[in-house]
Amino acid sequence: MAIRQILRRSLSSERRAAEVPKGHVVVYVGEDEMKRFVIPVSYLNHPSFQEFLFQAEEEFGFNHPMGGLTIPCSEDLFVDFISSFGRR
């Protein structure tokens, strides 16, 4: 299954809201409406992902009221970026 499909399927539903597999983290992405993604923790260490983390710190500090990491970028940009991890 393509990473893009996995990410799309990881969008939250009420039933899945509490389901986060071991070794994964919840990330909220969006500009107006936040979408929930569940990504592998290993992505957080990727040098390119560090820029997303820096942006999140600049905008939100360490206060993430959504209950997961909140990243200030468009959903499409995030999905395209994460999809590139599978092509490397």
CA distances (Å), 63 to each of 1, 3, 39, 58, 80, in order?
34, 29, 20, 11, 26
59: containing domain: 3-87
Euclidean distance between CA atoms 58 and 20, whole angstroms:
26
What pLDDT, on a 0 to 100 scale, did the predictor assign at position 65?
Answer: 61
Confidence bin at 87 (pLDDT 50/70/90): low
Position 23 scores a pLDDT of: 92
What is the mean predicted confidence (pLDDT) over 3-21?
Answer: 56
Residue 24 has pLDDT above 70, yes or no: yes
Residue type at 65 in one-letter notation: P
Tally of structural domains, the chain: 1
pLDDT computed for residue 73 by the predictor: 86
Tens of pLDDT, residues 50-81: 888 888 788 777 665 666 788 888 899 999 88
